[in-house]
Structure 1
Amino acid sequence: MIHHMGGKYHHGDLRDELVRVSVELIAELGMDGFSVSQVAKRANVSPAAPYRHFPDRAALLAAVACTTACGLREQAEAAVAEAGPDPVAQLAAASGAYTAFLINRRIGFQAVFAEGLEDPKYTELHEHRRALIDTYLRLCLAVCPYPPAALELMEQLNAQAHGYGEFFLNGVYRRMNYTAAQVTAKSTTSARIVIDAHVDGQGPAQP
C-alpha cells in the first residue's frame, strides 16, 4: 500500500507521477534543487513512498533523464520532418528544436547527461541517450561525412543551442524583449551559419 497524504495515486500510477514531479522540480529549481524528499512532498506522498519505485535518488534521476531524452528526440525528429528534404535545413531545425525544448520545459542536456548516471545498470537510459545522440549525429554526418568533423559539428551545435536557451531562461534575452519564438529562430539561423561554415571548410575528402 502507498502511504499518501491526501493524494489520489494508485500504486501503478505513482511511479509516473514521481517522474513528472521530478521534471517539474528540476525545471523550477535546477539540478541542485532536486531531492527525493522534495519530490515526495510535491507529489503529496510520504517520504518513504518514492523508494517503493526507486531505490535511491540516482535511480529516480535516471528515469527523469530517460523521459527528457525521449522528449528531446521526438521534438528534434518533428522539426526535421517539417524542414523538408535539405539536410542542412534539417540539422539547423533540429538544433533550434533543442533551444525551444529547453525554453519551454526548462530541462534538457543537464538532466540527460547528469552526473552519477554512468552505471551500466541504467540500461534504459543509456539506450535513450544513444538514440538521442544518433539522431543528431546522423544529421551531422549527412552534411559533414568525415566522422571526427561531424562529431565536432554536433558538439558545437548542441552547445550553441543550449546557450541560446539558457540566455532566455536567465533573463538576458528577455531583457532585450525577445520572445521564446524569436530566440528559437535566432538559434536555428545561427546553427545554419555554423553548418554552412563546416560544409564550406571541408575541402577534399579526409583520410
Structure 2
Amino acid sequence: MVKGRSHCPVCGRTLSAAELLPCLSFLLQGGKCRGCGAKIPARDFWIEVLGGLCSCACAYAFGGETAQAALAFVVLGILTVVALMDIDTLEIYDRFPALLFVCGIAAHILIPSLGIKSRLIGCVIVSVPMLLLALIVPGGFGGGDIKLMFGAGFFLGAKLTVVAAFIGILLGGGFGALLLAQKKANRKSQFAFGPFLCIGIAIAMFFGETIADWYMGLL
C-alpha cells in the first residue's frame, strides 16, 4: 500500500492476481517474471512456504482461539521480517521491537492470566543483561538484538523470554563456532544474531512451557 501495487523490480510491470498466488505462481512461471523473464529469487518462494507453514502451526496450536491464532501469526510475520532484515543489513529497525511490544499488549488483553508483572519482568530479564554485556564487550550484542528481546519479553512473559534467549544463544553460539571451525570467520567477525533470537522466540511461543517444565525436571 505504501509503494503501490506489486510489480516486477526489474521491468516494473504490475503483477496480475494470477501472478500473486503464494507458491503456486512461482512454480507455474518457472521462477521467472512473465513479462521480462527476470529470475525471481528462490528466497521469495521459500518465504511463502514458510508463511503457509506458520499459518498451519498457528491454526493447530490455537485452533479454538481465532484471535490468539491470528496474533501468533502476526508475531511470526514480524519475526520473519526481522530475521531477513538482519541477515541482509545487520540491522533491526526500531519499529519491529515496538510492534512486538504492541502484540504483547494485545496478548495481555487476550490472556490476562499471565499477568502484567511477568510481562514487565520479561522486558528486562534478558535485554538488560544483554545491554550490560554489550557495554562491557563492544560488539557482543547489537542494539537491535537488545530491543528485540525487550519487545518480545513483554509478549512472552518472563519464563518464556528466558527460554527464547537460551535457545537463541545456543543456536547463535553453535553457528559462530561452526564458522570459526571452518575458518570462515574470526573472533572479531560479525554475523546476524537476530535470526537465532527470532527462532528462539518462535519456539518459545509454541513450546516454551514444555521446555521450561522439562528443564526444571532435570534439576
TM-score (norm 1): 0.27
The structure, 1 or 2, with the larger RCO (C-alpha pairs under 8 Å, 6+ apart) is: 1
TM-score (norm 2): 0.26
